[in-house]
Chains A and B, each alone.
Chain A
């Protein structure tokens, strides 16, 4: 598995190029994945309108999460100018999320989508097509050797790009613990970090990941302040 650190043309963002099922893909420190040959950008677990979803049961998170998520999305789209965008499921925190999206954010999202192909992959939080939004909806799609779906499948992970688990990794060094969201990959499969502003992480050593990766080749690409850090599975801690 080759691994070269490369700097994007705007010079501000560090990325790492990795291979999944023989396809070359770029993992970006901002939490997105890009395939240069196809000009394909993939982003996972946006969880838009999570704030208003929680508000329904009297928990009032700041109502700015969708706006903050879209702003960050705007900056990566501006950077890569993708031809196609895949939103890998759980794009909205619940089934009514798209309907609740405030007007300004809806317009913002519309502007990001315009002029490109946009594919909404169904997630467990949003199993149906988002209301009144353009773009295509699919349960799963295949492009070349890669298959894009929300939940990782246990049986056959070859070439799978998935989300759902919000991978995070933890290292302990010099008596300090550092926990970060990460890309989780073993050369055969990639699980994307969650992109949404209010999304937490689940440690890649949790039993929810059992059977998904070949441990010998497993690496976590941890999201640092301005670059990604590739860390061997053996160096990670649970919890």
Chain B
């Protein structure tokens, strides 16, 4: 969508009320065309999607219709009942809501507008929340979770009866997740409470604007869309790829080689924002920068695991322009104003062209000046990926993921929430839910099963009827069976499932296990990471090298470790898969040698030698190389479909190879390639047709093999756990209220095993499978690939490892190997015992 904004003759400054005109002219500003256009469209009763780059005055545009409308509302007479909320502003981040309020306060007070504005987040004290329900502000700035709580309360009807506008900020970020699903259901409910409601969506550029336009309006009329205003980006960003004198590594993600280049770039700019893809990368880069920071430049670290106080300090310093550089993860992705950033450094490959564009947009919040950005590929494949992303950014290509159907687990949560708000008729709620675009295709039977799930768990064996949470009464309405259930609902609302985290507390006492008194809390780390450590292990966190001392209750105790060497935290979160679009671009680049001129010499040499020693695949083909090494035989393939899809493929291939008696031992997957090793020579098996590539890669692996593997997969168990938490089958863990011991709680794994063998069609297993298809297992993408490569598999049997295979071969040993590894570790521990006995 690149159409120029069309400006009607009617929309000029004259359409603004006097205080607004005065304010603009006093400041020597004039309203931008899209701001007036949005006002005019909203004025004629439309919902609107505004797509604009950062710095285009999006926020003011979004609020203008509400501000004008509130100003024109007649004054409340003394004695008249409190009015409900006029405008709801919803953003994905608490901090963003707070930030926006701060930014709006200035124009509101300078214009002397008679409106009240308040935030409501998880941090809002309960007395203030109570007061907000009785005497609500005109404009309430909040988050999707708070909205879910508000509409599930008995006061919802009164609170939202006067609602005119809902402004949805960073809509592109909200709609792709389950939070977006829950939010869409919440807005469907708001439309029922306030039928004249209009929505305003604010978004960065996306691949399919029409999906968002449908999302913004009721789908009662199938396919209905909001109006669209699209603002062209300002000056083209100046993006370069670091062309380092240093050798670009074959593999890994640390980008250590480029640290002095990065440090010099920081020195040349006012404020630099360094984006990385994972928190562990952030820790590492931060550490390395300080190691070379001879001028003691103020360089800070910001990621979601750090203590809130620490993060706020960094944000404040950033706004005050007191920092020269901040190393950050996606916590800084969204539109908070971060002062005068004049350089964005992106470390590691961007993984998606749209994500890169949005991150680069963080530099220079003035639209008419070009943003400046440097991409730092961490290894050779990333050089290709960065080049592809760079070309995409110039071309304006977009690869935001397509929207998926609303989750059934989210629907279950919403149904319980609506029962908390008051009695409902199933027919009415069904029609209401289908107005939300993610649920527009929901069939009645599935909806019915969601209700049954909420009532008694939805099991075929109906043995829980007498304990039902909601019950159908004689008039057909469903009612909550006990008020305590609403309380339970409030504690479990929301769709953000955080991995269980432990606070990290710094102590001064070394080597005394967890029997120490506390010092300051540095932040939180996933329990699953801490579980892999034993006392004395060291790791990087909060910019320090820490020694693991022990765990007591919900806290992990650490001490400062001398020296610089540390195990690096591995975080499950924050790793994005390579987008389909970029994958295709990278394959295209491999296939077209004339495009290699744009690559650094060392990388184009690498590709040239690959072409000599082996072969480079054509764009649509899949290259499979086989070669012996040591006492094993390797098969390396290059699908470029992202780590998740490759992991799934690896699991399925090893099952098949096992059946074909190739005796596979393990595999490892990266974003670009997959390597499998075995005791028998797979290349020979292909050549003698003992095993054919077409049968090995046949799409039917997604049938029975997938099903059989899924039964065991820990990935699916984790997905199930998330669905069960969101749907309310198991309760969220609340800090300080954890059960005393593991033996009391029923683990999600146990539930999954029992459910799978007794009721494989249960609604939560259905939700789990569809999540897995697009999420952790990326089955959908794998299916597309298998169909693409049919008849296009190119096998190259080699004497030795090829240049292209080097990066993934280096990953072996660094990445976890899948399969029967858990029992193998137990066997090892057991063997130690025997050894001990024999000595």
Which of A's residues lie within 8 Å of B, judged by CB? 50, 52, 54-65, 67-68, 102, 165-166, 168, 170-178, 180, 194, 197-203, 206, 208, 219, 222, 224-225, 229-232, 235, 237-239
Contacts and interface: CB of A to CB of B under 8 A. Distances in A.
A200 B746 contact: yes
A58 B488 contact: yes
Contact of B759 (A52, A64, A219): A64
B536 to A, nearest CB: 12
Nearest to A165: B743
23 contacts: A57-B467, A58-B467, A58-B485, A60-B467, A60-B729, A62-B754, A62-B759, A64-B461, A64-B755, A68-B758, A172-B533, A176-B821, A176-B825, A199-B750, A200-B743, A200-B746, A219-B833, A225-B822, A229-B823, A229-B826, A232-B832, A235-B829, A237-B534
Contact of A172 (B469, B534, B551, B730): B534
B463 A52 contact: yes
Interface range for B: 35 or more
Contacts of B751: 61-62, 198
Which of A62, A174, A175, A238 gathers the greatest number of chain B CB atoms within 10 Å? A62
A165 B744 CA distance: 10
A44 B826 CA distance: 24
Which of A56, A67, A173, A231 gathers the greatest number of chain B CB atoms within 10 Å? A173
Contact of B467 (A56, A173, A178): A56
A68 B754 contact: yes
Nearest to A228: B830
B758 A62 contact: yes
A61 B461 contact: no
Contact of B469 (A58, A173, A208, A230): A58
Interface in B722-743: 729-731, 741-743
Contact of B464 (A60, A165, A231): A60
A52 B745 CA distance: 14
Interface in B281-316: none
Nearest to B527: A239
A181 to B, nearest CB: 10
B825 A173 contact: yes
B531 interface: yes
A62 B464 CA distance: 10
Interface in B781-818: 816
Which of A102, A174, A222 gathers the greatest number of chain B CB atoms within 10 Å? A174
B830 A64 contact: no
A171 B825 CA distance: 8
B462 to A, nearest CB: 9
Contact of A235 (B730, B745, B827, B832): B832
Contacts of B827: 224, 229
Interface in B606-629: none
B747 interface: yes
Contacts of B731: 59
Contacts of A61: 457, 729, 746, 751, 754
Given A52-B463, A60-B464, A197-B750, A172 B741 contact: no
A63 B746 contact: no
B743 A202 contact: yes
Nearest to B567: A175
A178 B822 contact: yes
Nearest to B745: A200
Nearest to A219: B833
Interface of B: 456-457, 459, 461, 463-464, 467, 469, 482, 484-485, 488, 528, 531-534, 550-551, 567, 729-731, 741-747, 750-751, 753-755, 757-759, 762, 816, 820-823, 825-830, 832-833, 836
B142 to A, nearest CB: 28
B821 A206 contact: no
Given A58-B488, A232-B832, A232-B836, A63 B463 contact: yes
Given A199-B743, A225-B820, A225-B822, 16 more contacts: A63-B457, A68-B754, A166-B742, A176-B821, A197-B754, A200-B741, A200-B742, A200-B744, A201-B742, A222-B830, A224-B826, A229-B823, A230-B830, A235-B832, A238-B550, A239-B531
Closest 10 CB pairs of A and B: A60-B457, A166-B743, A229-B830, A64-B758, A177-B531, A229-B826, A200-B743, A202-B743, A55-B467, A200-B742
Given A58-B467, A60-B729, A177 B830 contact: no
Contacts of A219: 833
Contacts of B533: 172
A180 B826 contact: yes
A79 B459 CA distance: 32
Given A58-B469, A58-B488, A239-B551, A231 B833 contact: yes
Contacts of B550: 238
Given A55-B457, A58-B488, A239-B531, A168 B742 contact: yes
Nearest to A232: B833
Contacts of B463: 52, 55, 63, 102
A238 B833 CA distance: 18
B746 A50 contact: yes
B407 to A, nearest CB: 19
A36 to B, nearest CB: 23
A199 B746 CA distance: 6
A56 B758 CA distance: 21
Nearest to A100: B463
A191 B757 CA distance: 29
A127 to B, nearest CB: 18
A176 to B, nearest CB: 6
A171 B828 CA distance: 10
Given A166-B743, A225-B820, A63 B826 contact: no
Contact of B830 (A52, A55, A67, A231): A231
Contacts of B753: 197
B833 A206 contact: no
Nearest to A181: B743
Nearest to A223: B826
Contacts of B821: 176
Given A58-B469, A171-B825, A239-B551, A65 B754 contact: yes
